[in-house]
Amino acid sequence: MMLIKKDDLKLPLIFEFAKYARVVTLFFGFLIFFWTLIMVVPQISSDSSLWRKLTPFLILFFAIDVIQRNLFSIRKIIMNNESLQFLYIAKRKTVIYWGDLVRIEKYQGRGNFFLFHYREGEEVKKYFFPMVHRDIIDILNFIKIIAPHIETDDFVSSLLIKIDQEA
């Protein structure tokens, strides 16, 4: 087994989340949203059945849900010498500097997330990182290689490659 050291990494490392699927999903989300507004909603009248009145709003609700999930979820992760960056389409990027990253643990609530604890000034902040990327184990291992000072819980430790510190 070949061990990777920090000096061997070719930074920046970039991990992208299915961009073509996201573009297609956003396209159809907006298409359904505008189609419903332009073609379906105007056909509603006071004589329409309750089902016919509610259906366009259900369609709009699901279209808006698809759009907001794709606009506000992680688009790209960049690891460089200074920081770990999470980029989005319609949200400001989150930057965590390696020296400020304190702990990574599995979130014990609803959903599958890793919880990154990091310092920003005097306060410790939390960042919820979803466990959805196909390379999640590689991402965690690269983070641990670049910033070995980070504490991890038992779950995250079980995902990391055990590196002999004397090697």
132 SS3 class = coil
- Determine what percent of the chain is predicted with pLDDT higher than 90: 67
| pLDDT above 80 (res 85) | yes
Is residue 165 pLDDT above 60, yes or no?
Answer: no
Does residue 63 or residue 133 have the better pLDDT?
A: 63
- 167 has a pLDDT exceeding 50: no
Q: In this structure, are residues 152 and 104 in contact, taking their beta carbons and an 8 Å threshold?
A: yes
Torsion angle of C-alpha atoms 50, 52, 54, 55, degrees rounded to 10: 150
**What letter represents residue 152's amino acid?**
T
Number of H-type helices and E-type strands within the chain? 4, 8
Summarised one tens digit per residue, pLDDT across range 86-103 is 999 999 999 999 999 999
Q: Are strands 101-106 and 151-152 parallel, antiparallel or unpaired?
A: parallel
pTM for the complete prediction? 0.82
d(CA 150, CA 82): 15
Bond before 56 cis per omega within 30 degrees:
no
Distance CA 113, CA 92 (A): 20
20 has a pLDDT exceeding 70: yes
Average pLDDT over residues 60-87: 94
pLDDT band at 4 (very low <50, low <70, confident <90, very high): low
Amino acid at residue number 89: I
Q: Which two tokens stand for residue 97?
A: 């500097």
Residue-by-residue DSSP string for 28-80 = HHHHHHHHIIIIIGGG--TTS-HHHHHHHHHHHHHHHHHHHHHHSS--EEEE-
Whether residue 53 has pLDDT greater than 80:
yes
> How many other C-beta atoms are found inside a 10 Å radius of the C-beta of residue 53?
13
Nearest to 114 by CA among 102, 105, 126: 105
